[in-house]
Amino acid sequence: MSSRADQRVYAEPVPTARLDLFPLRVEHAEEMAGALSDPALHTFIGGTPYSPDGLRARYERLVAGSPDPAVSWCNWVLRLRTRSCLVGTVQATVTEDRTAEIAWVVGTPWQGRGLASEAARGLVAWLGRQSVRTVVAHIHPDHPASAAVAAAAGLTPTDEEQDGETRWRLPLQP
């Protein structure tokens, strides 16, 4: 069971057709640093790729969870079964009102294969089983690949903007 009496949501393994979404562990940092090492991945989100040590420190914070008991940080790595390698991540921040803000990233060598869309669909389906009411994502208007992932997961763009990004939304439950 992924939710406990405190109403937090906890990441669980999620299988899809070609991927296994595994809850993030600090030990994933070294392999993920390689998978996400292309600076082009930061075109729309800013920053630069993390070193293995930097990513390890980040993963330690993420795995520790949100300091706010009303917020759940759920993070997964994406393992491509046919290659048995990590290719990206998905994440969901679930708030007390059962809204989940999601995001995804797939390493450059594995892009263009529908893996981000597959992972996002799997994540959204899993969130629906966790009594999440609404899923949102923030997509840069100049990033058609990310917009395609959001659309594939069932989200639609809204008229709302935040920090120059369009808010996409999918109601799951009333």
- Report pLDDT for 6: 62
Distance between CA atoms of residues 31 and 85, nearest Å: 8
Burial (Cβ within 10 Å: 0-12, 13-18, ≥19) of residue 125? middle
pLDDT above 80: residue 58:
yes
pLDDT above 90: residue 45:
no
pTM listed for this prediction: 0.93
Both tokens of 174, joined, read 């009333």
Q: First CA to last CA across the chain, in angstroms?
A: 22
Burial (Cβ within 10 Å: 0-12, 13-18, ≥19) of residue 88? buried
Identify the band that residue 2 occupies on the pLDDT scale cut at 50, 70 and 90.
very low
pLDDT above 60: residue 4:
no
Q: Are 117 and 152 in contact (CB under 8 A)?
A: yes
**Could you tell me which residue, 93 or 174, shows the higher pLDDT?**
93
> Over the chain, what is the mean pLDDT?
94
Rg for the chain (alpha carbons), in Å?
A: 15
Distance between CA atoms of residues 71 and 92, nearest Å: 10
- Report pLDDT for 91: 98
pLDDT, average across residues 18-40: 97
User: What residues contact 71, with CB distance under 8 A and at least 6 apart?
Assistant: 93, 94, 95, 96
Identify the band that residue 174 occupies on the pLDDT scale cut at 50, 70 and 90.
low
Helix%, strand%, coil% for the chain, nearest 5: 30, 30, 35
pLDDT, average across residues 50-58: 97
Judged by average pLDDT, the poorest of 38-47, 63-72, 111-120, 138-147 is 38-47
Partner residues linked to 23 by β-bridges: 76
